[in-house]
Amino acid sequence: MKQFEVPPAYRSQLISRIKQQRRVADRMKKDFSPTRFTIGRMTVLLARHFGFCYGVENAIEISFKAVEAHPDKRIFLLSEMIHNPLVNADLARRGVRFIMDTHGHQLIPWEELRPEDIVIIPAFGTTLEIADQLHRMGISPIAYNTTCPFVERVWNKASQIGQKGYTIVIHGKPQHEETRASFSHSASLAPTVIVRDMHQARQLAEFITHQRPAAEFFDIFHGQYSRNFNPETDLQRIGVVNQTTMLASETQAIADYLKQVMASYYQLSEENIDTHFADTRDTLCYATNDNQTAVIRMLDEAADFAIVVGGYNSSNTSHLVELCAEKLPTYFICGPEEIQDNGDIQHWDIWQKQKIRSSRVIPDEGAFTLMLTSGASCPDALVEAVIHRLVQVANIPETTWESFLHQTVFT
């Protein structure tokens, strides 16, 4: 796989060494067991796969090279390049300005932009409408396009099934940048509807089987369907794709469920299911799959609690939190500063959508074990910083930490 030029400040010699050892020992990536190491009284189970993915490193390289190559030009990002506050703040310090926030609200009017300006497309991609807007202003939307290739793969799959007469069902979060972009591309080719979760998939099934009046569709799926969508005719042939960072098991469950609904309603066998249900296979990115599988395997081990590091608006990271929270106390933090001197942890509650504080997570004495992972947009340097912060709060001698940094073998 291509090696990208990422700022050294985002790298970690420790984490790179651990990852390299695991790659050498498991080149086919069949071993998803965590890496285990002990520092003083603290044992860490580090997920087999975590951190920057191909798409994120590609986006970072393009963005930072644009800044370095054009010191005389104004540089804009359509929105957050990736969902990590450290990286976005770093770009902002270098003079990069954000045209929209993560929800698509305009921060800088289009009228302020000039043809000579550089506009970077974030890793999530962008809508056809925004691309057209940039073209009309004389700005090329592909000159600095960091759209993840795995997002583009979803667009290509949607295009293929749309051209064959299927309606496209997107499993995703309607307000997420990636889902908005995928919806725009899909809706330009075929009827398209977004389902957030299995609950909405079951609601969609009621319109497929005509158990609910078609008129109710527009209220239930408000803002989630394409123009001129007709639930009476556009749900007869469907195919499922997804936002690449969704929970893999949920996407699969939704696809399997809707496939079964079609088979039952139209009395289809496996041989002729494609007359009403497209074979889209999995459109999750490799990093999402690997990171989730690594967490699932890690959860087979015993630990006192889990820490997940990443941006609070990161979809792929929030799903790692969901997986961990099913088994043990889990703390979603954006960096080491959330771990307090007294062992408290300030963390993001993905259900209440707010930051909360949990007391005495790090015990004052005695051995303890934690699980640790991070999202696909989280720099490895932050993961190392979190480990070091835990060492400090647990009052483990700095000499023990320094000795660990020089450790050569990890299991």
Say if CB 90 and CB 8 are below 8 A apart: no
d(CA 364, CA 366): 7
Angle at 54 between CA 126 and CA 331, to 5 degrees: 90
Classify strands 354-358 and 345-349 as parallel, antiparallel or unpaired: antiparallel
What is the set of active-site residues?
A: 178
Say if CB 334 and CB 310 are below 8 A apart: yes
d(CA 294, CA 49): 6
Q: What is the dihedral of CA 248, 249, 250, 253, to 10 degrees?
A: 120
Say if CB 317 and CB 292 are below 8 A apart: no
Q: Which residues pair with 346 in a beta bridge?
A: 357
What 3-state class would DSSP assign to 330? strand
Classify residue 145 by its DSSP letter: B
CA atoms within 13 A on the CB side of 238: 32
Say if CB 288 and CB 245 are below 8 A apart: yes
d(CA 139, CA 293): 41
Burial of 153 (0-12, 13-18, 19+ CB in 10 A): middle
Residue with tokens 């962008």: 126
CA atoms within 13 A on the CB side of 368: 19
Report CA 49 to chain centroid distance, whole Å: 14
Short-list 203, 240, 250, 241, CA closest to 222: 203
Classify residue 176 by its DSSP letter: S
Say if CB 237 and CB 165 are below 8 A apart: yes
Contacts of 180 (CB under 8 A, 6+ apart): 104, 127, 174
Short-list 152, 153, 154, 174, CA closest to 104: 174
